[in-house]
Structure 1
Amino acid sequence: MCGRLNMSLDPADLADELRLDVVSYDHTPRYNVPPGSFVPIVVERLDDEAQLTRRLETASWGLVPGWAKDAKIGFKAFNARSETVLEKPMFRQSIKRRRCALPIPGYYEWETTEDAKQPWMMSAAGEDPLFMAGLFEFWKQPDQSWLVSTTIMTMESTGHLHDVHHRMPVFLNRGAIDEWIDPAVPGSGIPSLLESTLAQVDPATVTRHKVGRSVGNVRNDGPELTAPVA
């Protein structure tokens, strides 16, 4: 499960490496980002001239499908289980047509101990942020404007991440991003795409350290939240 993010770094700094054509995400450093907040997503969409463009867009974290009657449904859909994403009405259209990558510096996870829940900071082992497989959707708001929303795909934890929690995000390596966000993948190829995406996940690309319990309060925000504790 992934329910709190560290968004301290500006993903627009990766514009050249990610071959971004358009950057519409306005970054503000945040260190304790809960569902319902706005986060960056990398998508490929046709522009007004029918040209495929790669874009860094802003999305509300918590997927709101087009058929939803209320945007509050998104608070229940900030994660999508990879095991059921092909069948669940909430996600089965998005997985076919609207897949994205979330460039995230890190996320928090809570380990259940005998005494309390210990928070951990999970971050990229290298210089790049973590890239998480996601889905996105469009929902028409009462004022007729469009809300873009997203969810983070999860899977059973493996490697050292299993020591903290039984779920983890579906991480994308650089080679997997292009295929995952490609809108041209036919519906018949989605099961194979999902299988290959899960197969390339490597928990060794993630490092972790314990952090203080103040991160549990979403009103707290600052770089001190990511500092290691004994």
Structure 2
Amino acid sequence: MCGRYTLTVTLEELMVRYMIGETMVPFHRPKYNIAPSQLVLTVINDGERNRLGELKWGLVPPWSDNPKVGFQMLNARSETAASKPAFQKPLQRKRCLIPADGFYEWKATPSGKQPMRITLRSKALFSMAGLYETWISPEGTRLNTCTILTTVPNMLVSPIHDRMPVILRPEDEQLWLDRSVTDTALLMPLLVPYSSDELEAYPVSAAVGSVSNDEPTLIEPRKVDEQLELW
């Protein structure tokens, strides 16, 4: 699964990267430990231009009785999303990009679970494939939510975890966002593991295990034998 990630760039950098002319996002600061149920920055296309906004991480289907179901839908398996009631329609028409510059997974070691941060070797921004939905409460309150698609791991990630987020190549991002494309068979070739040659992984502080921690030190490389036990 993908349960934590980072987005450490400025709002201006995001707008340039995704060709955003203007945005209603009031404020953005670098984030070093983005966690489920938080509001996350996402990119959608309205048919004319890309738009940057915030969605709550944890998809809530419109037919759900309780928004707490979002905690069970942080991720969607790309192999089966087209056949799952919660993800079938969003895969056809409600696709988004979830910008990131790294994600965390925990590797099992003899001394316990070691958090690892995975990034592009270039350290550039990348886009995770996401789906979004709108849930309306009985009182009429709207809740806009999203999920991150996952796939089998590449050779770099497989020793760390059995799943990884779908990272889209930049040239495939506009196809993913194109709402006129409703044939999911055309999208399946995009939902593959990203090349391990273009990624790197390194150990980080155990402090990332607490969602209350969100500071630059979390992404600094750590020598495992010097790491403080903060859990």
Which TM-score applies when normalising by structure 2?
Answer: 0.89
How far, CA to CA, are the matches of 1:37 and 1:130 in structure 2?
A: 19
How far, CA to CA, are the matches of 1:215 and 1:19 in structure 2?
A: 31
How far, CA to CA, are the matches of 1:212 and 1:15 in structure 2?
A: 30
Q: 1:31 is matched with which residue?
A: 32
Structure 1: unaligned runs, 5 residues or longer:
47-51
How far, CA to CA, are the matches of 1:57 and 1:117 in structure 2?
A: 34
Q: 1:5 is matched with which residue?
A: 5
For the Cα contact (< 8 Å) 1:12–1:56, is it kept in 2?
no
The structure 1 segments of at least 4 consecutive aligned residues displaced by more than 4 Å after TM superposition are none
How does 1:70-219 map onto structure 2 within 5 Å?
70-141=66-137, 143-186=139-182, 189-194=183-188, 196-199=189-192, 201-219=194-212
Worse-matched range after superposition: 152-161 or 200-209: 200-209
How far, CA to CA, are the matches of 1:198 and 1:85 in structure 2?
A: 11
CA-CA distance at 1:139 after TM superposition: 1.2
Superposition CA RMSD, Å: 1.7
Equivalent position amino acid for 2:41 in 1:
P
CA-CA distance at 1:57 after TM superposition: 1.1
CA-CA distance at 1:200 after TM superposition: 7.4
CA-CA distance at 1:12 after TM superposition: 4.1
Equivalent position amino acid for 1:2 in 2:
C
1:220 aligns with 2:213: yes
% of aligned pairs identical? 34
Q: 1:49 is matched with which residue?
A: none
How far, CA to CA, are the matches of 1:139 and 1:85 in structure 2?
A: 19
- Evaluate the alpha carbon distance shift between residue 87 and residue 65 of structure 1 in structure 2; reply closer, same or farther with a 3 A threshold: same
Worse-matched range after superposition: 110-119 or 3-12: 3-12
- Evaluate the alpha carbon distance shift between residue 45 and residue 193 of structure 1 in structure 2; reply closer, same or farther with a 3 A threshold: same
How far, CA to CA, are the matches of 1:229 and 1:142 in structure 2?
A: 49
CA-CA distance at 1:217 after TM superposition: 1.3
